[in-house]
């Protein structure tokens, strides 16, 4: 099934902020989405937190750490949605953000 929105999240050691960022996606009024989670070589608990999120999240890990722009392009290559939204791991979305943008 193809989601309407692919949410791109790039992560490098974001375990402290990641749970809140993911909860802000879970709290969206618009839920036809997938999360493309690109782990850019984290050495903290980021991978475990992301993998525990649920079936909407697709986890990928790079073989080596790359600059953010390159990591975003790698994540974009995995996106299946008609639209793309970017969420940094240290940011939060208000509940109606995706609904308003779609």
Q: Provide the pLDDT for residue 67.
A: 96
Q: Is residue 69 part of a domain?
A: yes
Q: Is residue 102 part of a domain?
A: no
Q: Is residue 101 part of a domain?
A: no
Count of Cβ atoms closer than 10 Å to residue 38 Cβ: 25
Provide the whole-model pTM.
0.94
Q: Is residue 53 part of a domain?
A: yes
User: Residue 51: which CATH number?
Assistant: 3.90.550.10
For residue 23, give its domain range: 5-96
Q: Provide the pLDDT for residue 26.
A: 96
Q: Provide the pLDDT for residue 1.
A: 79
Q: Is residue 73 part of a domain?
A: yes
Q: Is residue 65 part of a domain?
A: yes
Q: Does position 100 have pLDDT exceeding 90, yes or no? A: yes
Domain total in the chain: 1
Q: What is the pLDDT of residues 29-88, one digit of tens each?
A: 999 999 999 999 999 999 999 999 999 999 999 999 999 999 999 999 999 999 999 999
Q: Is residue 38 part of a domain?
A: yes
Q: Is residue 59 part of a domain?
A: yes
């Amino acid at each position: 099934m193809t989601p309407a929105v692919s949410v791109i999240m790039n992560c490098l050691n974001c375990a402290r902020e990641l749970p809140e960022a993911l909860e802000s996606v879970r709290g969206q009024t618009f839920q036809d989405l997938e999360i493309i989670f690109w782990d850019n070589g984290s050495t903290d608990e980021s991978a475990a937190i992301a993998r525990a999120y649920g079936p909407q999240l697709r986890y990928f890990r790079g073989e080596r750490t790359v600059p953010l722009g390159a990591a975003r392009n790698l994540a974009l290559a995995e996106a299946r949605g008609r639209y793309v939204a970017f969420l940094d791991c240290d940011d939060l979305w208000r509940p109606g953000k995706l609904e308003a943008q779609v």
